[in-house]
Amino acid sequence: MATIGILGGGQLARMLALAGAPLGHRFLVFDSAQDACAGQVASLMCADWRDFDQLQKFAEQIEVATFDFENVPAETAEWLTSHTRVFPNPAALSVAQDRLQEKTLFGEVGLDTPIFAAVDSIGELRAAIEKTGLPAVLKTRRLGYDGKGQFVLRQHSDVENAWATLGGVPLILEAFVPFDSEISVIAVRSRSGEFRHYPLTRNWHRNGILSASLAPVPVDGELQRRAVARARALAERLDYVGVFALELFSFDGKLLGNEMAPRVHNSGHWTIEGAACSQFENHVRAVLGLPLGDTDARGCSVMLNWVGELPDPTPVLAEARAHWHDYGKSPRPGRKVGHATICADSPEELIERLQRVGRALNRDDDVAPVIDVLANR
C-alpha cells in the first residue's frame, strides 16, 4: 500500500483519491484551504504553500507527490523534489504555468499555434496588435484559468481599457481563432515511458468555463493521428509522468495548440464511467510506476458540468447509464460544484437521454450543440 501526496485539495484530488482507493492506496492532501473538498474523502494537511516545516511533515508521510492544479508555487514543487518523488516533474509544471513558454514549446514540437506576442507595456501591446491583427485575446501569462485573466480586443480603442484591466503583469496577446471546434487529447505517460491516450473529446464552453464534453468525437482519422502525435511529442520532450490534457482548436482542417494542463482534466471526467480505465486511475497507476489501464471508450458519453450550484439530480438519475457527481462544495457563482455523465451504446440512445435531461433541467442551450454533432456523425 502506497500513500500518494496531492498538492491541491479540489475536486480533482477528490476523484483521484476515490479512484486510487480500490487499488489499495492512501492519499494525503496538502492545501491552504481548511474546507478543501478532497478532505471529505482523504486526509488533509492545511498550511501555507511556502510553509516548509509542514511540507517536510507532508513529504515524510508519502511515497510520491502529484498535483491537483498547476498553479502550485514553483519553489514548493522544487523543494519537494529534494525530499520525495514528484510527478509530473516541476519543469513540466513550470512550462504550463507560463503561456508564453507553453506556446513556444508547442512550436518546438511541431504544433501550430495562433499568432502570439509577448506584452510587457502598453507600447508593446500596440505593436503586438500589428502582428496578430484584431480581434485578439490579451491574457495574463500566469495564473489565468476558466476565462479569468483575459480580455478580448475587438478594435484599437480597446487598448487602454485592456491595459488598465490586465496591465502590470507579464502578458501575451494571441490572434483570435474562428475555430470550427474545441477538442482535447487526454493522454497518460508512465514512469517507464508507456504512453496511452483516450479518444478525442469535443468541448463546449459558457462564460469561459467548460459546460459540456462529448467523447468519442467524430473526427477525421488523420486529424486524430496528428493530435495524438503532438501530445506524445510533448510528453516525451518534458519526460512527463501522469495524465495531461492538450487543448486544441480545430480550424479549417488544421490543429492549433491552445493550452496544456499538467494534470487530470475537466474534459476527461467522462472517462470515469465512459472508459475502461478512468483518467484518475491511470494517473495513479502512472505516478506509482504501475502498468497503464485500457483507455478505450465504452460506447459514447457526454459530461455536463454544474457551475455555481447543483441542479435537481432526479432527472439525471432517472436515466439509464447516467451518473451524478457532487463535489461537496458550497455554491458560488463561477464555481465548479459537480458534473453528470450520461452514457449510451449508440448516438441515438444518447440523443434521447440528453433531450430529456436538457428539458427537465432547462439546459437545452447546453445540450443542443452536442445533439447536433451526435445527429450528424
Q: Cα separation of 255 and 273, whole Å?
A: 28
- Asked if 131 and 117 count as a contact pair (C-beta separation under 8 A), the reply is yes
Instruction: State the DSSP code for 21.
Output: G
Portions of the chain given CATH number 3.30.1490.20: 115-175
Q: Cα separation of 25 and 20, whole Å?
A: 6
Kindly give the confidence (pLDDT) of every residue in the chain, 377 residues in length, as a single tens digit, with 9 standing for 90 and above. Answer: 899 999 999 999 999 999 999 999 999 999 999 999 999 999 999 999 999 999 999 999 999 999 998 888 888 999 999 999 999 999 999 999 999 999 999 999 999 999 999 999 999 999 999 999 999 999 999 876 655 789 999 999 999 999 999 988 999 999 999 999 999 999 999 999 999 999 999 999 998 899 999 999 988 888 999 999 999 999 999 999 999 999 999 988 899 999 999 999 999 999 999 999 999 999 999 999 999 999 999 999 999 999 999 999 999 999 999 999 999 999 999 999 999 999 999 999 999 999 999 999 999 999 999 999 999 87
Portions of the chain given CATH number 3.30.470.20: 181-375
- Asked if 29 and 6 count as a contact pair (C-beta separation under 8 A), the reply is yes
Cβ contacts of 22 within 8 Å, gap of 6 or more: none
Cβ contacts of 178 within 8 Å, gap of 6 or more: 251
At the second CATH level, the architecture of 3-86 is: 3-Layer(aba) Sandwich (3.40)
Classify domain 181-375 by CATH number.
Answer: 3.30.470.20
> In the block, which residue shows the cell 487529447?
185
Q: Cα separation of 136 and 238, whole Å?
A: 29
Portions of the chain given CATH number 3.40.50.20: 3-86
Among 355, 224, 197, 215, residue whose Cα is nearest residue 273: 215
Cβ contacts of 362 within 8 Å, gap of 6 or more: none
- Asked if 14 and 328 count as a contact pair (C-beta separation under 8 A), the reply is yes
Domain spanning 115-175, CATH class? alpha beta
| Set of cell numbers at residue 332 | 458560488
